Structure 1
Amino acid sequence: MSGNVTAAVVAEQNLSNAVSSERGLLRFITAGSVDDGKSTLIGRLLFDSKGIFADQLDAISRARHKRTVGDTIDLSLLTDGLEAEREQGITIDVAYRYFATPKRKFIIADTPGHEQYTRNMVTGASTADAVIILIDVSKVKLNDDGSVELLTQTKRHSTIAHLLRIEHVIVAVNKMDLVNYDQVVYDRIVNAYQQFAQQLGLTDIRPIPLSALAGDNVVERGDKMPWYSGPTLIELLESLSVYDESHDEPFRFPVQLVARHNGHEANDFRGYMGRVEAGKVSKGDKLVVQPGGQSATVKDILTLDGSLDSAVVGQSVTVLLDEYVDISRGDMLAAADRPATLLKTVDAEICWLSEEPLDMRRKYWLKHTTKQVAARVTKIDTLLDINTQERRAADALKLNDIATVSINVQQALAADAYDASRSTGAFILIDEVTHQTVAAGMIRID
């Protein structure tokens, strides 16, 4: 897996684990084109909500790559931490930040806008409950006939948000100060985006005019846009409902490690370690081992704090079974009455993330939950045109292409449709030579 993608996933998981037990947690990302103000917006959120420390403010005020005049703080430096990011004034890697208000806790992923780093945006979006699509009013083309031309990267990120089934889409029309807070300009941009969203299939669209640099409508309302009567951005984020449907899904437990005793004990301890990715499991539950198909019964559920009667999605546990069955890393323990689907041919929507184009003659590694198998893309069904949302035939994939494909795998996968379960319906493709992540995929099951 690529270093950037791996580091981003680890960082998000560590931060998520630290606050996942808190109520009201919302994960959201910022997305859009280059220099739309994503990092500045997050910096403004952190600054105005008192989510940063005095030493952080002091450090960024003395930064040599500051792009503001005088004593004004360059808030984008709060998230753009890499030296290359500060030199160029762009976001390259995914930056995760945590902050809280009296009403809610948040994990923010500041994702890059450059087309070259779309793969990093996919990483941040894969666990998000909401997305803020920033639109820079100074870049949008306003035609004389009243039509508006949105940037391709805005359309691409919106399409990825739809494919990843992100529930809430906030359309932040940014830099309103550059057009003197003109309501007509705002309305034209929002109407254009809503037309595109309807074509795409996005339903929950929340538009808001703001200026991240000046702080208008971010945390404080201000008096520059009296024609806007809706909530500020922070009020909107605090109000979004988040329901984790994975609690209601059938039990899914990809095995990460088979744990044995140290060889000096008389009892033959054998436990299966992993994370509950969907549903719930209790002592006495009937399970099926996939892809093998053996039946099993839960004997005990162990944690570092002792035995549990049951475990739910998100918990990392060790499961003990009554039966002696052949189980290895990559196998799936699933609900006996609602098992996963076994797939030898995977039909999926993929986003190609590599600068090297897809080579259908080559073998790739497919990583699904804890299982890694050899795979080969056998067919490109359709290629999605980002601008028109039309699908056409194709015989090749290049960087950032989105397509429906068929993939043959060497060993059967126990999987679910991505629409039904994010965790067991997603996968990545890995170059077997360079070990770079070349594609992210969402499984489709008819």
Structure 2
Amino acid sequence: MNMSGSTVRRSGVALLSAAVLAALPVLPVLSGGPGDQGATAYAAEAGGGHAEQHATGRWRGGWAASPQSPNVAFGQNWSETGFARQTVRQVVRVSTGGSQARIELSNRYGRTPLKVAGATIARTGQGASVQAGSVRALTFGGGRSATIPVGGELVSDGVGLKVGALESLTVTLYLDAPTGPATFHAQAGATSYRAAGDHHSDLGAGAFTETSRSWYYLSGVEVAGGRAAAHRDGVVAFGDSITDGYGATPDTNSRYPDELAERFAAAGRPRSVVNQGISGNQLTNDTSWAGEKAVARFRKDVLNEPNVGTVIVLEGINDIGASEWPDLPGGPTPDVSVGQLIAAQRELIREAHAKGIKVIGATLTPFKGAAYYTERGEIKRDALNDWIRTSGEFDGVLDLDRALSDPADRDRMAAAYDVGDHLHPNDAGYRAMAEAVDLSTL
């Protein structure tokens, strides 16, 4: 495959030694496929080339989802069996618009190279249908197919497609050869569709007879052109299920980062806001079902995003609660001290500041009454929140604890914001989180 117009990102494993990388020549900017005016092809270790070469480039994150390893911890999905001679169609909403679009695909947790036999992007119709006249064939280095190595990620060539802020787009992939277990994002909160055979250019929904509430291989949609900012102003929401949007009404884009993007659009200045939350994720512990620990995935999921200026960090409640709860998949995780949580937060701050990215620290939301609540855990939450509020180490503080707490019991989430498990907000709660953000700090 000719890689002259698409961008290869290596993630999860170091595919080339430092010595080999040092010996590689600097690759020039090359002409890409249709609509792509000079994407860059290179190989780099996680957190390297793309973030550094495109941090102030023309591409902006329109939508993103953090890749996860195959598992069924949250219910049945297609990740463990993968795909063969099937088409998967996925709907996402972009936070900001432009005149060009491209996608990022991830094989971060694949066991075999991933062959993509065909791909399209289009404006979303009803359900699995797409709007006539909007379907664009995607290319990778000028070719209609691509193979992504184990642990790798690939960005398509750009394609001309006028996209509005808060517009839904449909990305369709035809996967001909058996994929094996699939890199995916478990809690999409959106419906994905599957069809037997090759239907990646179909307008209608008829062939798409199976549905799932996860995203597969698709880890980003980027846009360029339009009313782009002259400086880095993208926002990444980084966290666990409360960032991921667990409990929000499916297919309504009611997660707090979605609501934040709507606030920017309503103010007449749409901005890139992408969601890098993983349900169940922890700051300090890896799990097989909830992703790598935050301090490990931060570089790949935040620093590798194009044109990021600010990251909002909301992590730590699962480290506190999971050590107290034997019913978690895989059992409880190791106990963690407040000092360890602070050290992990400081590591994220250092890495972001080294890239010129502001960090907004979000206080942990109330969880009294949740399945893994204990008084010992509450003491830890209070101590970490006190440090977030008063340490002065963040560039700003988002006090979600106070935004969502019950005035009569500050350790408990207000009933009007509680989805019912006393841990996750409902749609109104996610809206309140977004409304608590001071837009001038981002």
Same fold by TM-score greater than 0.5: no
Say which structure, 1 or 2, has more relative contact order (CA 8 Å, 6+ apart): 2
Q: TM-score, normalised by structure 2?
A: 0.30
